[in-house]
Structure 1
């Protein structure tokens, strides 16, 4: 039986730039920064969770050169985003992150599941920023 996620992996274009963004700008905690056999990766953790997100550049030896180029293009265009990051106050977090230079592509908007905005990391990955509503109450109505 699957009991949850152990690790989430995110392809980025530059590890050091991604680490600075996720740790210094978004407030994630630093995890492991490791290089082995010519392959470097690192982990960061959301501020209030212990689920690590591994940041990795799609390159050899993990993928071949042609595949790496295709992945880099998709990342830069925002097609490989993972999903949504939770917040208790979407508008406040939006203003805080925008003041830090985060590129928002959609301002917060009220939706059936909560207040939601969209931003990109320095690599181009698309993220949602969501202040969720009580979905159990929505389902039962």
Structure 2
């Protein structure tokens, strides 16, 4: 009888050890899955917030530049329908759909081969802002004398 009790107690301990082992394994799987899922979601949230921030900046800058380009294009249409514009002005006015896109202009000249993949966003943003300012400034310098000659005052600023 004593042998029977020992065997049963041993089996009981063995069953408890197995249960703990299985529970421990399940717990590790659950925590590993939670960690991996949390890591993935954290990366996705970080990526989304960075992309959203970049989109918001680009949208604001793009809208402001496009609005100014639209004003100059309308001035060109109204003030001088027969006037021949200089090539650099005519090119900008003809391509208002693309606006003053620095990357687009580089791609059209085949000067980029994914060079912007490894450059920080702030550098690309700065290049775009410099380019947009130069384009708007070029139009402003061209149209300012025409507007003054016509006696038209506008608040077109660079």
| TM-score using structure 2 length | 0.27
Determine which structure has the larger strand proportion and give its number: 1
Q: Tell me which structure has the larger Cα radius of gyration.
A: 2
Structure-1-length-normalised TM-score: 0.29
